[in-house]
Chain A
């Protein structure tokens, strides 16, 4: 990369400056200027999109970030090189500043997680929490439980991240996978499944390096030929409130000859479709997750289950919750088994407070209800509390009880925080308008949508955005659909199922345990799911939806991708160069891409502005506008802003000789409405304010020195840059209204002085509010604001320019009378009224398409 950047630097240095080149036509300069403005337009839009992504919580991947950064840098580069042409290479420090920012952005984008270092295999006896970077969170916790807490776990070993890294790097798998994923459109389910299947197939069929294979065999010997469970233990998994629940493969009962193949398949399961979707939703890059695999001797389980050391619905609860079923634990978490639910006191001797039994299995003689005895419940409670106290937070624990009656811990992880749930309720019979009542709340909330019953992967491909997912079992693979589902209903399953965990994480309402629901509902039927109350209503129940309305959780928060974006944003959006008159407004002071765009834009305008002066070109010098207006306006023609019949030698120009679309629109807005507010401040008083400001350019520093105290229009047929200095205000309107949306925009900057701070803020807030209403993107910083709209058709932008013209004239006067909020509200009303009239008027006069455009904003 260094070599490459050196090449760019060379490029900047090697091109001859303007001094050596032959004189160029003014039109060439204007073309550079126009290209620079379009690049500016693109750059600012891209920055706004990045900012939006950073705050919205909508999922985005690295591809989005990389694409936006690349496009941004390309556009800023265009600005830098066009300014260079325009200014005859004047700003020597611009290129180094650009290169410095670009280099930092490149470095952040190229940064890879550290390569895992260590042994390929670690026996569980040598694993504890500190080994998480090598064996994954799941196995690190299990080792911790075995070696530090001293509770029974299955014997076994972990195939580490170092092994996976060796495997993936060795067969060039990684590059090929990255290539495939980089261009993947994860919203296209068919493409997603194809890519997912192809990648998994590639990994599963790649040869395993012998040094790993022989070490696996070696360690397997220590287990005395037992069958093993092979479990994924991904690095990056099980971090704070990010569950990755049920995404990866777990294979039970693996015998020696299948160890290698199963290992590869589990590594490949990182690319299961639901895992790809999950990572995108939660802001993980694929390289942020490295798969490790635990090989654990199978437990001959009589009963298995999941314990929560606190109630997920109430973190201060004085009971814990246990879900249990006969056999292996996987039936509980993949949602296929009907389970018994126990609520057990956290206080010694841990009595059962409540039990919901799926099927009566115990006998009267033992007093056992369901799959667990009271003593077993108490033992499980003690274990849960021990683990909670050791790990320092409520735990979600998977366990089995073997034939010897021993409780073996299979997994323990922090209880997901957003599992706001109540236990199973007894909703009774469906009420009026209700289709169904029952089941358990797997994830709270209410949502409406059309029913879509999904039985096969073919159904899955056709699943429409915003439908209610209805399934027989809450299988983990249905999680692929969660981002597009409104709600989930399932015949079986309970709150410990992986799908329920992910639904809670994503904030998608879900009811499980609804017997017969796949038969009772029909595809396309519109329903409202009230998951909190376990009820299903016919049609769309607005009342219910309103009550249940909550914001979707910001799933990206704190994720690696969000973190990357935040770091990049530091190099992109902060604006340090705010004041062109400041001695710090210099190329060498540009720290961010925004600074660079600001600097290039400012200097380009100045270059265009001073061209006539500099080159002694009368035709490019300012003409004074003649017309009925109390202020003096100057106009500089950049290209084709005047009528062809107008003689360039004239010193005055009447408005009817001007053909600049944007200027005429602003002018119309300025002159459309007489000032009809309260008694105007006396002309003399007003004059004195004007006088003050012209005598005191230092009062408001945001003004170009050479344009000081004059009002200038720089125009061409499609372009206008207006700098206004009236009273103590400084305002800048710039617009391009042309054939191509890519080139079109309106931008407005406003800064006002000459009043106490409260007034200044009120005024800026007033303008901000109005402009937002008309679709501007507005940024306000103290008493300065900037507003912008880009890539819209001419009539739409033309209407916005009229609004700005109006505001320029009228808010200036408001300033003198407006003192308090109440007044501000009154003026706002009056202004909005005026603006509506103004827009309607111009519609009638035949600005075609305006009405349509306006309703769109």
Chain B
């Protein structure tokens, strides 16, 4: 299978973040988590993540605003939006802002893993 990907999960749903991180690690990926944008920012600034999975509704900031900031500072970093509140507008908006994907919870872990891997692969291909 694919080699390890360094993933940053930003989501305020503690249960979800913890189990997802655990299961991603079990598959050989490296995972860091943040419950708020403020927590996520230093991880991003360290240049560590290769893929970001970002919730749309976060306590400190609007996830879409955060997405814009990420894409501004790190244009090539793939960001996958993940939300429990399906919205056509948010979906289209995030793709326009450069999100790699817009997915809905509940998401099956297998699917999320593949989406992350595909986003990562596309990004590598673009750089090549």
**Contact among B89, B96, B114, B125 for A27, CB-based, below 8 A:** B125
Question: A182, B85: Cβ atoms under 8 Å?
Answer: yes
Contact (Cβ within 8 A) A740 B117: yes
Kindly list chain A residues whose C-beta atoms are within 8 Å of the C-beta of B126: 31
> Do the beta carbons of B122 and A35 come within 8 Å of each other?
yes
Q: Which residues of B sit under 8 angstroms from A4, Cβ to Cβ?
A: 89, 93
Residues on A with C-beta less than 8 A from B106 are 185
Report A51-92 CB contacts with B as 1/0, cut-off 8 Å.
Answer: 000000000000100110111011001100100000000000
Given known contacts A67-B86, A109-B88, A77 and B95 CB-to-CB distance under 8 angstroms:
yes
A1/B89 contact (C-beta < 8 A), A11-B96, A71-B104, A742-B115 known: yes
Most buried by A among B92, B101, B103: B92
Name the distance in Å between B84's Cβ and chain A's nearest Cβ: 5
The contact string, 1 if C-beta is below 8 Å from chain B, for chain A 1-18, is 100100110010000000
Q: How far does the alpha carbon of A805 sit from the alpha carbon of B11 in the complex, in Å?
A: 47
> What is the chain B residue whose CB lies nearest that of A30?
B125
Identify which of residues 27-53 in chain A touch chain B, using a CB-to-CB cut-off of 8 Å.
27, 31, 35, 38
Q: Which listed residue (B1, B84, B118) contacts A743, Cβ 8 A?
A: B118
CB contacts (< 8 Å) of B3 on chain A: these are none
The one of A8, A35, A63, A739 in contact with B96, judged by C-beta atoms closer than 8 angstroms, is: A8
The verdict on B46 contacting chain A, using a C-beta distance below 8 Å, is no
Query: Is A102 part of the binding interface, using a Cβ–Cβ cutoff of 8 Å?
Result: yes
**B78 beta carbon closer than 8 Å to chain A:** no
Contact call B84/A77, Cβ cutoff below 8 A: no
Question: Complex Cα distance A67/B125, Å?
Answer: 30
| CB closest residue in chain A, given B1 | A739
Q: Is A402's beta carbon under 8 Å from chain B?
A: no
Contact residues in A for B93 (Cβ distance below 8 Å): 4, 7
Partner of B84, one of A35, A71, A73, A182: A182
Q: How far is the CA of A73 from the CA of B90 in the complex (A)?
A: 11
Residues of chain A from 285 to 334 with CB closer than 8 A to chain B in the complex: none
Q: Does B19 touch A at the CB level, under 8 Å?
A: no
Tell me the interface secondary structure of chain A in the complex: helix
Quick check: B95 and A70 within 8 Å, CB to CB?
Answer: no
B88, B103, B111, B118: the one contacting A106 at CB < 8 Å is: B88
Q: Is A183 an interface residue (CB 8 A)?
A: yes
What residues on B are CB-neighbors of A743 within 8 Å?
Answer: 118
Per the 8 Å Cβ criterion, residues 92-131 of A in contact with B are 102, 105-106, 109
Complex formed: what's the CA distance from A217 to B74 in Å?
A: 63
Q: Whole-angstrom distance between the alpha carbons of A11 and B96 in the complex? A: 8
Distance of B97 from chain A, by nearest CB (Å): 10
Whether B118 pairs with A742 at a CB distance below 8 angstroms is yes
A740-B86 in contact (CB<8A): no
A755 contacts the other chain (Cβ, under 8 Å)?
A: no
Partner of B118 from the list A27, A77, A78, A740 (CB cut-off 8 Å) is A740
In the bound complex, residues from chain B placing their C-beta under 8 Å from that of A74 are: 88, 91-92, 95, 101-102
- Given A8-B92, A77-B92, A77-B95, do A742 and B111 touch, yes or no (CB 8 Å)? yes
User: Is A741 interfacial (CB 8 A cutoff)?
Assistant: yes
| A31 & B89 in contact (Cβ 8 Å cutoff) | no
Closest Cβ of chain B: how far from A66's Cβ, in Å? 5
Chain B residue numbers with a CB within 8 Å of A27 are 125
Residues in A with CB closer than 8 Å to B125 are: 27, 31
Question: Which one of A11, A38, A73, A740 contacts B91 once the chains associate, using CB atoms below 8 Å?
Answer: A73
Neighbouring A residues of B110 by C-beta, 8 Å: 741
Contact A741 B114 (CB under 8 A): yes
Bound: A741/B117 CA distance, A: 11
Contact status B114-A73, CB under 8 Å = no
Q: Which residues of B62-118 are within 8 A (CB) of A?
A: 84-89, 91-93, 95-96, 101-106, 110-111, 114-115, 117-118
A748 to B96, CA, bound (A): 32
Residues of chain A within 8 A (CB-CB) of B105 are: 183
Please give me the residue from chain B that is nearest to A110 by CB atom: B88
Distance between Cα atoms of A35 and B115 in the complex (Å): 12
Given A8-B96, A11-B96, A77-B95, the answer on whether A742 and B88 have CB atoms closer than 8 Å is no
> CA of A556 to CA of B50 in the docked complex: distance in angstroms?
45
Shortest distance in angstroms between B3's beta carbon and chain A's nearest beta carbon? 12
Q: Which residues of the other chain, B, contact A739 by a CB distance below 8 angstroms?
A: 1-2, 117
CB distance from A565 to the nearest CB of B (A): 15
A586 to chain B, nearest CB (A): 23
With known contacts A31-B122, A66-B86, A78–B95 Cβ distance under 8 A: yes
Tell me the nearest residue of chain B to A74, going by C-beta: B91
Q: How far is the CA of A31 from the CA of B96 in the complex (A)?
A: 18
Are A73 and B92 interface neighbours, CB within 8 A? yes
Residue of B nearest to A740 (CB): B114
Nearest-neighbor residue (CB-CB) of A66 within chain B: B86
CB–CB A67/B104 < 8 A = yes
- B113, closest chain A residue (CB): A740
- Chain B nearest CB, measured from A741 CB (Å): 6
What is the CA–CA distance of A1 and B92 in the complex, to the nearest angstrom?
12
Min C-beta distance of B72 to chain A, whole Å: 16
With A31-B122, A182-B84 as contacts: A70 and B91 at CB distance below 8 Å = yes
Task: Mark contacts of A182-220 with chain B using CB atoms, 8 A cut-off: 1 yes-contact digit, 0 otherwise.
Answer: 110100000000000000000000000000000000000
Q: How far is the CA of A106 from the CA of B93 in the complex (A)?
A: 14
A27 CB to closest chain B CB (Å) equals 7
Q: A27-B125, A31-B122, A38-B118 are in contact. Are A183 and B85 (CB under 8 A)?
A: yes
> A67-B104, A77-B95 known; A105 and B122 CB under 8 Å?
no
- Expressed in whole angstroms, the Cα–Cα distance for A66 and B90 within the complex equals 13
Residue among B85, B88, B92 having the largest count of chain A Cβ atoms under 10 Å = B88
The complex places the Cα of A800 from the Cα of B15 at a distance, in Å, of 40
A residues near B122, Cβ cutoff 8 Å: 31, 35
- Give the residues in chain A near B117, CB-CB below 8 Å: 739-740
| Residues in A699-751 with C-beta less than 8 Å from chain B | 739-743
* Least Cβ–Cβ distance between B1 and chain A, in angstroms: 7
Chain A residues positioned under 8 Å from B86 (CB to CB): 63, 66-67, 69-71
Closest to B104 in A: A67
Give the chain A neighbours of B88 by CB distance below 8 A: 69-70, 73-74, 102, 105-106, 109
- When C-beta atoms are compared, the residue in chain B nearest to A105 turns out to be B88
Chain B 34-52, CB-CB to A under 8 Å as 1, else 0, gives 0000000000000000000
User: Shortest distance in angstroms between A830's beta carbon and chain B's nearest beta carbon?
Assistant: 39
In the bound assembly, the distance between CA atoms of A362 and B125 in angstroms comes to 90
**In the assembled complex, which residues on chain A have CB atoms less than 8 Å from the CB atom of B114?**
740-742
Q: Which residues of the partner chain A approach B92 to less than 8 Å between Cβ atoms? A: 8, 73-74, 77, 102
Q: Which residues of A contact B103 (CB under 8 A)?
A: 71
Which among A35, A67, A74, A109 has the greatest number of chain B C-beta atoms within 10 A? A74
Residue of chain B at shortest CB distance from A183: B84
By a CB distance below 8 angstroms, the chain A residues around B118 are 38, 740, 742-743
A762 to chain B, nearest CB (A): 40
Q: CA–CA, A215 to B40, complex, Å?
A: 53
Which residues of chain B have C-beta atoms less than 8 A from A183's C-beta?
84-85, 105
Contacts of A106 in B (CB 8 A): 88-89
Residue in chain A with minimal CB distance to B84: A183
Residues of chain A contacted by B91 (CB below 8 angstroms): 70-71, 73-74, 77
Which residues of the other chain, B, contact A7 by a CB distance below 8 angstroms?
Answer: 93
Residue of A nearest to B97 (CB): A11
Q: How far is the CA of A73 from the CA of B103 in the complex (A)?
A: 12
Which chain B residue shows the least CB distance to A69?
Answer: B88
Closest chain B residue to A10, Cβ basis = B96
What sequence of 0s and 1s flags, for each residue 1-17 of chain B, a beta carbon within 8 Å of any chain A beta carbon? Answer: 11000000000000000
Task: Give every chain B residue within 8 A of A11 (Cβ-Cβ).
Answer: 96
Chain B interface residues (CB < 8 Å from chain A): 1-2, 84-89, 91-93, 95-96, 101-106, 110-111, 114-115, 117-118, 122, 125-126
Given A67-B104, A73-B91, A742-B111: 7 more A-B contacts, CB < 8 Å:
A66-B86, A70-B102, A71-B91, A71-B103, A73-B88, A106-B89, A183-B84
A and B contact pairs by CB, cutoff 8 A, 9 listed: A4-B93, A67-B104, A73-B91, A77-B92, A102-B88, A102-B92, A183-B105, A741-B114, A743-B118
Nearest first, the 4 A-B pairs at minimum CB distance are A70-B86, A74-B91, A67-B86, A740-B114
